[in-house]
Chains A and B, each alone.
Chain A
């Protein structure tokens, strides 16, 4: 933040904003980071128990499971970290992301609702349910934030998580009444183990969402300044908030239906990026996408290697490491304020 301010004040003689000259995307660090993510992706493609080079159908297997898995990792990594970033902008709170707002629990409730209404729902149906409910849930949370006056920014995630606990109590209740607790439990552990050709393609929709977020980046940044400032700068605040929430819910809903719950990714990635780069959404977005991809690929490789013939769900690795990073961020924040 400070760096950005300083670089802008040093160019004070030109009144016009100089962003595009000052923040070129293809800087050396960015190219280096891209390269690192590509290397990670390659490592991910060649990690696994099945010997793809020794066996006769190795190449076939490679394209049936390994390539889809790596792509879905990259897509979900980008989706979750971007939705975290957008959420943080909209709520003006650094500690908000799909797991700390109850959005994930709402998506779970949506899945249960779909299972209740349709006996054997297709993936599209489940996705629609998750998307609709996470939209409703995120809107509810924002509505709560507006209704309720808060005395501390730290209380926002507390309320979000309690809201999530209420929703998951409802889910458990419904699940118990209709005998579906097993479904909920398996769903709440996000894992990429079942990803293969034919079961992940909907994740490509995330590319569209990413493009949308890139187009709306500046407007979302303005909305992040608060309703009054955004309105006086000529932004239709409510529409931007609505659109942002819709985009997040789309991303979270798709990931929830296809993969499951991935905790803390949306929180740690944007926070770390903005620690280094300040708060401009448009120039941070590529970085956030890239670091999100890198983080989740690294976690997934770890999840596959750690008990080698088997694998643990990546959400457990993310949950463990994410909570540590979250606490470090919190404590740093306490030193700064």
Chain B
């Protein structure tokens, strides 16, 4: 979002409020828009819940009366919970990230989380062998990955953002390049592995909602809840941050500190999502863009719920249709990426500035 556009938005909001004779600046231009927001939000949530319910019970091979009905549902519930976690992580972190970078085109998956993730696994296998690699799973390894990813981000981006030459675009570019460098290193190490080791590793690297490890939920869910809550609680500050560095500083905000704080929260969410369900490049972008379209406001208190609802709806609907209508299981994430990518191109062209 360019600065002038957001300022325009601000003045627009103020003007419309003057017209409304309201004393407080509100998030919506008119009451009609506010009503529309709630209707859209409720519709989306109920649709999402409907699809999730469909994923759980539709086309269940055993009849309801059978004793194995519940285990089948429980098995499917793992996938739905993984989808919910992915939706929360990706949607909230993308919206927050776009606000601190002051750019609606960028997604946090650019920072190379997936490369760090696969490098951690590959180098464990490469340096310590299969025995250590196999024992390096479950809760400890999950926590270790998340901590490692967040630490790398914190050190790197803290360093790049601080100081006289701190520059957000530079940070992003360095993130992308490190990602592609790590991908090369990882693929280089994988070439040197024995085929049996490679097989074991490959199975681990293909994370998706379907092989999400249910044993990780007791840790992943609280982490996501806490971090998402912190970001939601930070919504008002994000409103200020999204106005750009100069404006937010002059409004009395410690810009640098808030940016790094938000970045840490974003990187935790992204790390959890990547470690749990694998990389998704354009999903977050798709969700955030649609959320801004649907919400008709720039207030994060309203954007976040909308993004969440849309994110959950997209992922459940995509899986539902692909499983039960088109019978094509493997392609869901690719479909989401495909549409996200197309939307990305359209968004750039329509916006005309970056």
Using a CB–CB distance below 8 Å, which chain A residues touch chain B? 95, 99, 144, 147-152, 154-155, 157-159, 161-163, 165-166, 169-170, 172-173, 176-177, 189, 263, 307, 312-313, 315-320, 322-324, 326-327, 330-331, 334-335, 337
The answer to whether residues A316 and B173 also contact, given A149-B353, A155-B354, A173-B338 and a CB cut-off of 8 A, is no
B180 & A323 in contact (Cβ 8 Å cutoff): yes
Known contacts A149-B353, A330-B173; A162 and B110 CB within 8 A of each other? yes
Contact A154 B167 (CB under 8 A): yes
Give the chain B neighbours of A165 by CB distance below 8 A: 281-282, 341
| Neighbouring A residues of B172 by C-beta, 8 Å | 154, 158
B184 at the interface (CB under 8 A from A): yes
Kindly provide the distance from the CB of B109 to the nearest chain A CB, expressed in whole angstroms. Answer: 9
* Complex alpha-carbon distance, A215 and B246, angstroms: 48
Cβ distance B331 to chain A, nearest Cβ, rounded Å: 6
Q: Which of A151, A173, A307, A322 contacts B331 (CB 8 A)?
A: A173
B10 at the interface (CB under 8 A from A): no
Asked if B353 contacts A154 (CB within 8 A), the reply is no
Minimum distance in angstroms from A169 CB to a CB of chain B: 4
Contact A334 B165 (CB under 8 A): yes
Q: Which residue of A lies closest to B167 (CB)?
A: A334
B positions within 8 Å CB-CB of A = 2, 105-106, 110, 165, 167, 169-170, 172-174, 176-178, 180-181, 183-185, 187-188, 191-192, 281-282, 330-331, 334-335, 337-338, 340-342, 344-345, 348-349, 351-354
Q: Which residues of A contact B338 (CB under 8 A)?
A: 169-170, 173
The residue that A327 contacts in the complex, of B165, B177, B330, with Cβ under 8 A, is: B177
Interface of B is mostly: helix
User: Is A320 touching B185 in the complex (CB atoms < 8 A)?
Assistant: yes
Across the interface, which residues of A come within 8 angstroms of B337, CB to CB?
169, 172
Which residues from B are CB-within-8-Å of A337? 165
If A152-B169, A315-B184 are given as contacts, then 17 extra A-B residue pairs at C-beta distance below 8 Å, sorted by A number, are A158-B173, A158-B176, A161-B176, A165-B281, A166-B282, A166-B344, A169-B281, A169-B340, A317-B188, A318-B184, A320-B184, A323-B181, A330-B173, A330-B177, A334-B165, A334-B170, A337-B165
CB pair A163 B345 closer than 8 Å: yes
Asked whether, in the complex, the Cβ of A166 is within 8 Å of the Cβ of B352, the reply is no
A315 CA to B184 CA in the complex, in Å? 8
Among the listed B165, B184, B352, which residue makes an inter-chain contact with A316, where contact means beta carbons less than 8 Å apart? B184
The answer to whether A176 touches B351, judged by C-beta atoms less than 8 angstroms apart, is no
20 contacts between A and B (CB under 8 A): A144-B348, A147-B349, A148-B352, A151-B354, A155-B169, A158-B106, A159-B354, A162-B344, A165-B281, A169-B281, A169-B282, A169-B338, A173-B335, A173-B338, A177-B331, A189-B187, A319-B183, A326-B177, A331-B174, A337-B165
Cα distance A176–B332 when bound, in Å?
11
| Interchain CB contact under 8 A, B345 and A166 | yes
* B351 x A323 contact (CB < 8 A): no
Name B174's contact: one of A166, A177, A312, A327 (CB within 8 Å): A327
Residues of A within 8 A of B165 (CB): 334-335, 337
Given contacts A165-B282, A173-B331, A334-B165, contact A154 B170 (CB under 8 A): yes
Q: How far is the CB of B208 from chain A (nearest CB, A)?
A: 14
Known contacts A152-B169, A158-B110: does B352 contact A323 (CB below 8 Å)?
A: no
For B353, the chain A residues whose CB sits under 8 A away are: 148-151
| Bound: A158/B183 CA distance, A | 17
- A149 near B184 (CB under 8 angstroms)? no
Q: Is the CB of A176 within 8 A of B178?
A: no
Contact of A148 among B106, B330, B334, B348 (CB under 8 A): B348
Residues of chain B with a CB closer than 8 A to A163's CB: 345
Query: Which of B181, B191, B352 is the one whose CB lies under 8 Å from A149?
Result: B352
Contacts of A95 in B (CB 8 A): 173
Residue of B nearest to A267 (CB): B177
A172 touches B178 (CB 8 A): no
In-complex Cβ contact of B334 among A151, A176, A323 (8 A): A176
- Assembled-state Cα–Cα distance A189/B330 (Å): 24
Least Cβ distance of B211 to chain A in Å? 18
A residues within 8 A CB of B167? Answer: 154, 334
Give A156 Cβ to nearest chain B Cβ, in Å.
9
Known contacts A169-B334, A169-B341, A170-B341; A312/B188 CB under 8 A:
yes
Which residues on the A side are within 8 Å of B334 (C-beta)?
Answer: 169, 172-173, 176
In the bound complex, residues from chain B placing their C-beta under 8 Å from that of A148 are 348-349, 351-354
**In whole angstroms, what is the CA distance A99 to B180 when docked?**
11
Asked if residues B188 and A320 are in contact (CB atoms below 8 Å), the reply is yes
4 nearest CB pairs, A to B:
A323-B181, A319-B184, A166-B341, A154-B169
A227 to chain B, nearest CB (A): 18
Residue of A nearest to B163 (CB): A334
Q: A154-B169, A154-B170, A155-B169 are in contact. Are A176 and B354 (CB under 8 A)?
A: no
Nearest chain B CB to A158's CB is how many angstroms away? 6
